[in-house]
Amino acid sequence: MKLMSVRSVVSLAVAALSVWAGAAQAQEEEKVLNIYNWSDYIAEDTIRNFEKETGIKVRYDNFDNNEIVHAKLVAGKTGYDIVVPSSNWAKLQADGGLLRKIDKGQIPNLKNLDPAVQAQLSRMDPTNEFMVNWLWGYTTVGINVEKVKAALGSTPMPDNAWDLIFKPEYIAKMKSCGVSFLDSATEVIPAAMHYLGKPAFSKSPGDYTAAAALLKSIRPSVTLFSSSGYINDMANGSICLALGWSGDISIARQRAIDGKTGQNIQVLIPKTGGILFFDVMVIPADAAHPGNAHKWINYLLRPEVHAALTNKVFYANPNKESKKFVKPEVANNPTVFLSDADMKKMVPPDALNNDLRRLMTRTYTGFKTGL
């Protein structure tokens, strides 16, 4: 009887083990990874090398503003395994239960991250549990040097580059050669607030009234709203002034050089600083391939992989080991890797509650429509 009992126990254990093994095998992820990222934000061989090494097929889609990403995540069932919002938006998504925590044990290359960047991210993700930085940059002013000088005529360049964008007497002179604004409330309104000397991500509703008045005064001079197409427009000389992202303006500069368009594009660092952003890799809570997502993050954090992104798109990366792989002309570009003095002037990102985000959106919509 005892022998039979032991046999029974062994049989049950073997059966249970078989069921567990079968279930684990059934749950093994298919070799697929779905990524949703900003446009013009990756090197040519980043995906190709990952696919070759892992056998995982990557589907890679693009967006050009945080509002689109957030709406998809809130709606759920995005079909994506990696999404790359800005950190202040990712905070809202993490707080709302829309993101999965990162399993740090699966990402040994986290050791390569710069503690200073991690400290910045901890403002939005206190324990660095949800976000891993892709690249970072800042919202600022970009110009076509010769066209802006011609438009200004005898008027000297302002001491503060933001004056070109937000002072009616300056921006009015630029209308004839084309002025582009990022097509996003959460990029334009903080810049206007900062120019007015108010908190860029103000919690005071009255500040948005002041921003609306400022934007109304310059609206007649804005000829384009674009968060991606403006790169080519700068490169080919269709616009001469942009409120844009630092790396995008540098991409436009490089495209002008490569295409021999004759346009001299320059990133300006305003005297009072720009608005920092940190775009972060996150895993949606309902991601179908979280294991593959972790493999991607760990791959991206290799120094040479992160460096290749910076070399291509002119945004700084958070990888302290990557600098030796970054081209000298990029590594030494003070508009890519900011000096300590310029970094201190920059405004860090912050998250706003739903009511303030709606107010920001209404303020921006009124500006864009002119109503």
Domain identity same for 62 and 103: yes
Domain identity same for 233 and 363: yes
pLDDT at residue 12, as a whole number:
47
* 3-state class (DSSP) for residue 282: strand
Which tens digit of pLDDT belongs to each residue from 97-119?
999 999 999 999 999 999 999 99
Instruction: Please report whether residue 14 resides in a domain.
Output: no
- pLDDT above 70 for 2: no
The burial of 122, by beta-carbon neighbours within 10 Å (0-12 exposed, 13-18 middle, 19 or more buried), is given as middle
Domain identity same for 355 and 324: no
Instruction: Please report whether residue 27 resides in a domain.
Output: no
> Strand 265-268 and strand 132-144: pairing?
antiparallel
Confidence bin at 37 (pLDDT 50/70/90): very high
Domain identity same for 177 and 221: yes
pLDDT mean over 9-23:
41
DSSP per position, 66-118: HHHHHHHHHH-----SEE--BHHHHHHHHHTT-EEPP-GGG-GGGGGB-HHHH
Mean pLDDT lowest among 10-19, 193-202, 222-231: 10-19
Domain identity same for 214 and 304: no
pLDDT mean over 282-287:
97
Domain identity same for 174 and 318: no
pLDDT at residue 28, as a whole number:
79
The whole-model pTM stands at 0.89
> Strand 179-181 and strand 132-144: pairing?
unpaired
| CATH at 232 | 3.40.190.10
The burial of 46, by beta-carbon neighbours within 10 Å (0-12 exposed, 13-18 middle, 19 or more buried), is given as buried
Domain identity same for 212 and 357: yes
Percent of the chain with pLDDT over 70: 93
Question: Residue 268: which domain range?
Answer: 138-276+351-369
Confidence bin at 287 (pLDDT 50/70/90): very high
* Greatest alpha-carbon span in the chain: 106
Domain identity same for 105 and 250: no
**Alpha carbons 148 and 151: distance in angstroms, whole number:** 5
Instruction: Please report whether residue 10 resides in a domain.
Output: no
pLDDT at residue 29, as a whole number:
87
Written as one letter, the residue type at 210 is: A
What is the number of structural domains in the chain? 2
